[in-house]
């Protein structure tokens, strides 16, 4: 994939990833002890949906715009509300003009003693990230390769926290690096929560990733996938997945409610599907 996030901000893949991210943050915040979030491929932090890039792709119209217009069951709506509240706070008068990247969402959950490290290597995105997160003592932005950050910043001094790994998948090796990077980081910080995003065009690469992850021998790996269109056209992004290591204990139950709702709201031509299963652990 040749990935520039400004073209894809607010897409179905963002909605899925960020809805799950916010549930994890909700559970981290529910306990008094401080936590740290490490966002290894943070992007620009905030996106203008009226920009030429976002307007050209228009993927937000089939993502966040469709979700906001969807009629959801009360339980799913309640789970999504904290995430959508952050989106709404950036958009006055109800018009969708801005969309938060993962760093902006994470910052909304930080308390006074919680911390975030947001890493981005691409110069323009890194400059934007530093600007959007400026003057916040809880946040450190770094212009650094995300794969390097995955190894360098674990374990944090806080005993609790999350590592979000959301690479651009511009290289064929990124699927392999995802498994290798997780294995190395987990050996250093086995109690941390890890959320690893990946694209789904067809089944070969996601299934190969699952095999590599099983071979790592980690105790708890939950897989969640959202498919918005059939996998018959491998040239397009048909879905995306999240690998969740050491997920909060209520998260599987919440995802069993969220995933069907997101599939119904975001599936193309009513053909959305989902998968939720354990690669290792509680199944």
Residue ranges of domains in the chain: 5-205
- Distance (Å, rounded) from C-alpha 168 to C-alpha 4? 8
- Distance (Å, rounded) from C-alpha 107 to C-alpha 281? 31
Q: What are phi and psi of 193, to 5 degrees?
A: -90, 135
- For domain 5-205, the CATH architecture is 3-Layer(aba) Sandwich (3.40)
Active-site residue, selected from the candidate residues 14, 39, 114, 166: 166
Phi-psi region of 85 (alpha: psi -120 to 50; beta: other; left: phi over 0): alpha
**pLDDT by residue, tens only, the chain of 283 residues:** 334 677 789 999 999 999 999 999 999 999 999 999 999 999 999 999 998 888 787 899 999 999 999 999 999 999 999 999 999 999 987 789 999 999 999 999 999 999 999 999 999 999 999 999 999 999 999 999 999 999 999 999 999 999 999 998 888 789 999 999 999 999 999 999 999 999 999 999 999 999 999 999 999 999 999 999 999 888 899 999 999 999 999 999 999 999 999 999 999 987 899 999 999 997 6
48 carries an active-site annotation: no
The structure tokens 């050491």 sit at: 246
């Amino acid at each position: 994939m040749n990935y520039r996030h400004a073209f894809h901000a607010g897409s179905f893949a963002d909605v899925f990833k960020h809805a799950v991210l916010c549930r994890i943050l909700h559970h981290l915040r529910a306990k008094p002890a401080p936590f740290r979030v490490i966002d290894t491929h943070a992007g620009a932090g905030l996106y203008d949906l009226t920009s030429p890039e976002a307007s050209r792709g228009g993927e937000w119209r089939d993502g966040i715009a469709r979700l906001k217009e969807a009629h959801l069951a009360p339980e799913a709506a309640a789970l999504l509300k904290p995430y959508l509240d952050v989106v709404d706070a950036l958009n006055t008068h109800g018009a969708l003009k801005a969309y938060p990247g993962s760093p902006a969402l994470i910052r909304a959950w930080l308390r006074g003693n919680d911390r975030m490290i947001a890493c981005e290597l691409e110069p323009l995105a890194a400059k934007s990230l530093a600007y959007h997160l400026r003057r916040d003592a809880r946040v450190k932005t770094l212009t650094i390769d995300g794969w390097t950050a995955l190894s360098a910043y674990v374990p944090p001094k806080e005993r609790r926290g999350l590592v979000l790994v959301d690479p651009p998948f511009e290289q064929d090796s990124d699927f392999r690096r995802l498994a290798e990077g997780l294995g190395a980081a987990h050996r250093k910080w086995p109690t941390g929560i890890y959320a690893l995003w990946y694209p789904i065009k067809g089944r070969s690469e996601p299934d190969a990733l699952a095999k590599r992850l099983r071979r790592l021998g980690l105790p708890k790996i939950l897989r969640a996938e959202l498919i918005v269109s059939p996998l018959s056209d491998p040239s397009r992004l048909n879905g995306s997945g999240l690998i969740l290591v050491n997920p909060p204990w209520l998260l599987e139950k919440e995802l069993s409610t969220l995933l069907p709702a997101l599939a119904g709201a975001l599936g193309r031509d009513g053909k959305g599907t989902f998968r939720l299963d354990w690669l290792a652990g509680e199944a």
